[in-house]
Amino acid sequence: MRDFFSKLLNGMSIAIVCALIPNALLGEILKLIIPSVPALQHLYDATVIVMSMLPLLTGILVAMQFKLTQIQTASVGIATVIGSGSIIKTAEGFFTLNGIGVTLNAGLTAALAVLFVKLVGERLKEYSILLIPMLSVVVPGMIGYMILPYVQTSAGLIGEVVAYLTGLQPILMGALLAVIFGVVIISPISTVGIATVIMLSGIGSGAANLGIVAVGMGLFLASLKANSLGTALAHVLGSPKIQMRNFFMKPTIAIPMLITAAILGGLAGVFNVQGTPYSAGFGLSGLVGPLNYINLAEGGWTSSNIAIMLSLFFFLPLILNLIFIYVFKKKLKVIKDEDYKLDFE
C-alpha cells in the first residue's frame, strides 16, 4: 500500500510540474506584454491549454510509474480525464475545457484505473486492445465521474473553513491561512481550486500566497544538496507539489517552511498584503503573487510598496527558511538532505 501511494503521488507530482510550469513562468509576463504585442495572445492561450491537459498527464504519468503497457497507460489517461471534471458539457450541448478540473479526483480516478487495468489486463490477452480502453471508461472512468460532485463538496467544506478564518483578526488569520495553504500546496488538493471556489481575496489571498512562497522557497533551499539546481528551482518556478510523495512519507520535512509561512502570513496582515483568488494559489510562479500585490496596493509601484514586496516575497522567505532549516537539520536533526531527494527518471 505504501509503495502504491508513493508511485501515485510521484506520477501526480511530475504531471503537475509539466502542465503548470509553462503558464506559471510565462502567464503574468505575457499579460503585461500582450497589449503592446497582440500576437503573443496565441502563446498565452497555448499555455492555458497545456494547463487543461493536467488530468491526461496525471493518468499517463501515474500509469508509467506502475510500468503498465501502452494500451493500459492510454486507458488510465482517458479514464482520469473523465473523472477529473476538466471537460464539461454546456447547455448548448458543446463540450468545453473547464480549467484543470479537480486535481484530487483526478488522482483518485487514476488510482482506480491502475488497479482496474492491473486486475483485468492479463485476463483479456489478445482482446486487450479492444476491451481495456472501453472498460476503463465504463468502470474507473464512470466511478470517478460519479464521485466528482462529492469530492468537489469536500473541497467546498475546506473552503468554508478557510472563509471562516478570513473573518478573524488579520494577523492571526494571516498566519493560519499561510500555514493551511502551505500544507495544501504539497498535497493533491488544488490551492487555486480552493481559492477560486471561495473567491479568496484581499489579505486572505495575500497571506495564502505568502504561505506558498514560504514553502516553495524553503523546499528549494532544503533540496539543493539532494537534487540538481533545475529540479530544486522547480519548487519555486513551478510547484512545491513535486514534494508530495516525500511529504506524505515524512511530514516533518515541511516544519521549517510552515514556521516561515506562519510568520509571513502574520506580516501580510500587518502590511496589508492583498491578492486575488487566482494569485492566492501560485506563490512565486510567474511572479503572480508579487505582481498582484503591487497592482492592488495603494499607490502601485511606489518605493515603499516595492520594498514591502521584495522583503516579504523574496528576502524574508530566504532568510527565515535558511535559519529554520539549519536549526531542524543541524541542531535538532529532525530532517536531512536525503529527505528531499526527487527521482524523475
The pLDDT assigned to 116 comes to 94
Write the pLDDT tens digit of every residue in 59-116.
999 999 999 989 999 999 999 999 998 888 888 888 888 888 888 889 899 999 999 9
pLDDT digits (tens, 9 = 90+) for 201-230: 788 889 999 999 999 999 999 999 999 898
What is the pLDDT at residue 97?
82
Share of the chain above pLDDT 70, in %: 94
What does pLDDT average to over the chain?
Answer: 87
Q: What is the pLDDT of residues 155-208, one digit of tens each?
A: 667 666 766 776 677 899 899 999 999 999 998 777 776 776 566 778 888 999
> What span, in angstroms and rounded, lies between the C-alpha atoms of 130 and 224?
47
- What is the reported pTM? 0.70
* Other CB atoms within 10 A of residue 301 CB: 10
Helix axes 142-165, 202-222, angle to 10 degrees: 110
User: For residue 196, what pLDDT is reported?
Assistant: 64
Task: Give me the pLDDT at residue 179, please.
Answer: 95
What percentage of the chain carries pLDDT values higher than 90? 48
Dist CA 22 CA 18 (whole Å): 8
Give the mean model confidence (pLDDT) for residues 270-283: 83
Higher-confidence residue of 230 and 142: namely: 142
Predicted confidence at residue 325, as pLDDT, reads 96
pLDDT (0 to 100) of residue 82: 95
What pLDDT, on the 0 to 100 scale, is given for residue 199? Answer: 65
Q: Alpha helix locations (H) across the chain?
A: 2-33, 41-52, 54-65, 70-84, 103-124, 128-136, 142-165, 170-184, 191-197, 202-222, 229-237, 244-249, 255-271, 288-296, 303-310, 316-326
pLDDT for 88: 85
One-letter amino acid of 187: S
Q: Say if residue 265's pLDDT is above 90.
A: yes
Looking at residue 322, its pLDDT comes to: 97
Residue 345 in this model has a pLDDT that exceeds 60? no
The pLDDT-based confidence of 5 (bands split at 50, 70, 90) is confident
Higher pLDDT, residue 252 or 200: 252
Assess whether pLDDT exceeds 90 at residue 257: yes
